[in-house]
Chains A and B, each alone.
Chain A
Amino acid sequence: MTLSPTRPAPQARPSIPPAFPQPVAAPDAAGLSARRISFSRQSTLIIDGVDCTVPVGGFAAVIGPNGAGKSTLLQVIAGILPASESATARLGDTDLVGMRRRDRARIVALAEQHSAEDSGMRVSDVVMLGRTPHLGRWQAEGAEDKRIVQDALEAVSLREFADRAFDTLSGGERQRVHLARALAQQPRLLLLDEPTNHLDVHAQLSLLSLVRAQTASGLTVVAALHDLNIAVAYADHVIVLKAGRVRAAGPAQQVLTPELIWDVYGVRAEILTNPITGRPLIAFDTGDRPAS
């Protein structure tokens, strides 16, 4: 089963310190704007009143410790888990909550982390799955669908892999195929659930560069990420979750401070500059609270 595992009960919610940047209203109406997203399972609140705003073409990273509700947030936005009564989620002018599942799948795609499983499919078959919401039950895929699949494979640099057996690919290649499948849905919003898990460093960087390149054409991306350095290297915005609530949100460089990292993860952090890219680089250690 790939549904998110039961989370430990988020208890004892401390009030949010005002020191950290908080989400603001969408600066661009065409992006994602989700409000008051809550979800509970077996009377345990897993996420509680999360707001999430990403401008069109933006790349937002959802970060937070294990069990903070990152996957749950993505699945509620994708309509896989039911949204609470008061929740709203809009993509531009489109109301995502009230949509039919199939219509939603034409504008919102989700790529999850996948364990190695024996699918027995060819790479192009896997990518063609992305056409499911666009094709009628009785309808055969047409030349247009085949072209979209080709383009999606091209976009993840796997064009020559089309006829390969999916199960023979490496972890990084598989994850790129899943990305291509999501792109074949031709979404306006792409949700990625820990896309870089279990990947080597080259595969991690190339996957996120491919995603990043897609934002140029107006694709809005929300990715749940574990690695803060990856998040700060690729995302414009970060949404920091702790125990099912937004702890901070805003531009990555402003939000990811040593104080916030201590508060959310309980580790010491120092923000350096990556000598190669010039982006921030975070060094960690266990230890005492940093003097501020």
Chain B
Amino acid sequence: MQTTALRPAAAAASAHRPGARIRVPVLGAGLGVVLAVSVLFAVTIGPAQITFGEAWQSVFAHLGFGDPALSPLRDGIIWQLRMPRILTAGAVGAGLALCGAVMQALTRNPLADPYLLGLSSGASLGAVGVILLGVGVLLPVAAFGGAIVALAATLLVASAAGTLTPTRTILAGLAVSSFFGALTSLAIFWSATGDTYREILSWLLGSLSGAQWSSVAIAGAALAVVGVPLLFSGRVLDAFAFGDTAASALGVSVTRTRWIMLTATALLTGALVAVSGAIGFIGLILPHMVRLVVGRGNRRVLPLAALTGAIFLIWVDTAARTVFDPRELPVGILTAAIGAPVFALLLLRSRSSS
């Protein structure tokens, strides 16, 4: 049998994957430094002719060190446009990667992403309501409201069918997504004109161009209140590795845990979608990339996925606003354009290793 001959080599190769003990605290600290440096560098990049030193001086002046060297207009570009946008990108990237990792563990489905419960379609409907139909609330509020309505509908459908199992959750999410998607399409088809069409499309694809300090506050607060406890849920998620019965035998209240974690993940995702639109692929891809490096223990994956997500979205968004200058792309186009090929590579790799 030829497989027998191949086996020792294959075993040795893949034994290294989760076995390679990259020290997680070291890796985490390293990524933390990269994140800080990314913020400081990204803020200096942009079409306005502002040098490195001037940009940093402006940032440090606002933090209370020294005096600003820039004119108020150019200072505004740094502190009112770039900085909130970069920080929002960091918070959204961290949150999406974290939510994706949690969803994948909770449903034991590698294709799960933060929008699994119909959240992006609900948020889109809320946003369309404001942009096209002139519903008189702020866009983030409407988007968040839409996400929560979709979440409630999904959980209602899933639990009405019986116990909240992964399969039921995924199928209910699909049903709700399709329905809300149809309503969104109907609204766009019925009433969109040139300008609003572009605006709504940019929102549907996910964009950080509208980020302000209020966006930083919303995304940051959601990350602090919901994301930080989720970061520490690795042990409970690990208990699900061999199925619901095994988790239950390890003392985990399976259904209750799943309800709480799905709701927490959805609330965080809803807040992120409210400020950035539905940015795709980060929640799907980054957890897988982190797992390839550190193995699948969730206590390692969750914090590292969050850090990686923040760094990734900061740089992709920087590219989205500068590479095609003077045009700006919705960042969702770039995350998908980068994410899809990477995902395909991962699939090929997983096929060859199994």
> Which residues from chain A sit less than 8 Å from chain B, CB to CB?
1-3, 75, 78-80, 101-106, 108-110, 112, 114, 117-122, 125-126, 129-130, 132-133, 135, 137-138, 163-165, 167-168, 178, 185
Contact = CB atoms under 8 A, between A and B. Distances in A.
Contacts of A132: 235-236, 238-239, 250-252
B242 A3 contact: no
A126 B291 CA distance: 16
A58 to B, nearest CB: 21
List 3 A-B pairs, minimum CB-CB distance, nearest first: A105-B251, A120-B296, A133-B251
25 contacts: A1-B167, A2-B243, A2-B244, A3-B244, A3-B245, A80-B249, A101-B251, A101-B253, A105-B251, A108-B249, A112-B242, A112-B243, A114-B242, A120-B17, A121-B295, A121-B297, A122-B18, A129-B241, A132-B239, A132-B251, A133-B250, A163-B21, A164-B15, A168-B10, A178-B242
A81 B245 CA distance: 9
Contact of B19 (A1, A102, A122): A122
A124 B196 CA distance: 56
A78 B251 CA distance: 10
B232 interface: yes
Given A106-B251, A132-B250, A137-B236, A165 B15 contact: yes
B57 interface: no
B247 to A, nearest CB: 9
A130 B19 contact: no
Contacts of B243: 1-2, 112, 114
Contacts of A78: 248-249
Contacts of A129: 238-239, 241-242, 246, 250
Contacts of A80: 245, 248-249
Contacts of A110: 245-246, 249
A119 B236 contact: no
B245 A163 contact: no
A125 to B, nearest CB: 5
B246 A2 contact: yes
Nearest to A100: B251
Contacts of B354: 118
A2 B247 CA distance: 11
A164 B19 contact: yes
B14 interface: yes
A211 to B, nearest CB: 16
A119 B235 contact: no
B11 interface: yes
A124 to B, nearest CB: 10
B38 interface: no
Given A165-B17, A165-B19, A168-B15, A112 B246 contact: yes
A119 B235 CA distance: 15
Interface centre among A104, A109, A119, A129 (most CB of B within 10 A): A129
B249 A105 contact: yes
B165 interface: yes
A121 B17 CA distance: 9
A169 to B, nearest CB: 9
B171 to A, nearest CB: 14
Given A120-B295, A165-B14, A102 B251 contact: yes
B231 to A, nearest CB: 11
Interface string B101-117: 00000000000000000
B346 to A, nearest CB: 13
B134 to A, nearest CB: 46
Contacts of A3: 244-245
A14 B178 CA distance: 52
A172 to B, nearest CB: 15
Contact of B295 (A75, A122, A185): A122
Contacts of A168: 10-11, 14-15
B241 A121 contact: yes
Contact of A125 (B17, B244, B297): B297
B21 to A, nearest CB: 8
A109 B17 contact: no
A102 B247 CA distance: 11
A67 B90 CA distance: 54
Contacts of A75: 245
Interface centre among B21, B167, B235, B249 (most CB of A within 10 A): B249
B245 A167 contact: no
A165 to B, nearest CB: 5
A121 B167 CA distance: 23
A121 B251 contact: no
B73 to A, nearest CB: 48
B241 to A, nearest CB: 5
Contacts of A130: 250
A25 B252 CA distance: 32
A108 B17 CA distance: 33
A276 B239 CA distance: 42
Contact of B252 (A101, A108, A119, A163): A101
A112 B165 CA distance: 19
A76 B1 CA distance: 44
B252 A165 contact: no
A232 to B, nearest CB: 27
A161 B242 CA distance: 19
Contacts of B249: 78, 80, 105, 108-110, 112
A185 B250 contact: yes
B286 to A, nearest CB: 16
Contacts of B18: 120-122, 125, 165
Contacts of B295: 120-122, 125
Interface in B310-354: 354
Given A101-B253, A120-B17, A130-B250, 15 more contacts: A2-B243, A2-B246, A3-B244, A80-B248, A101-B248, A108-B249, A112-B243, A114-B243, A117-B242, A119-B241, A122-B295, A129-B239, A163-B21, A165-B14, A165-B17
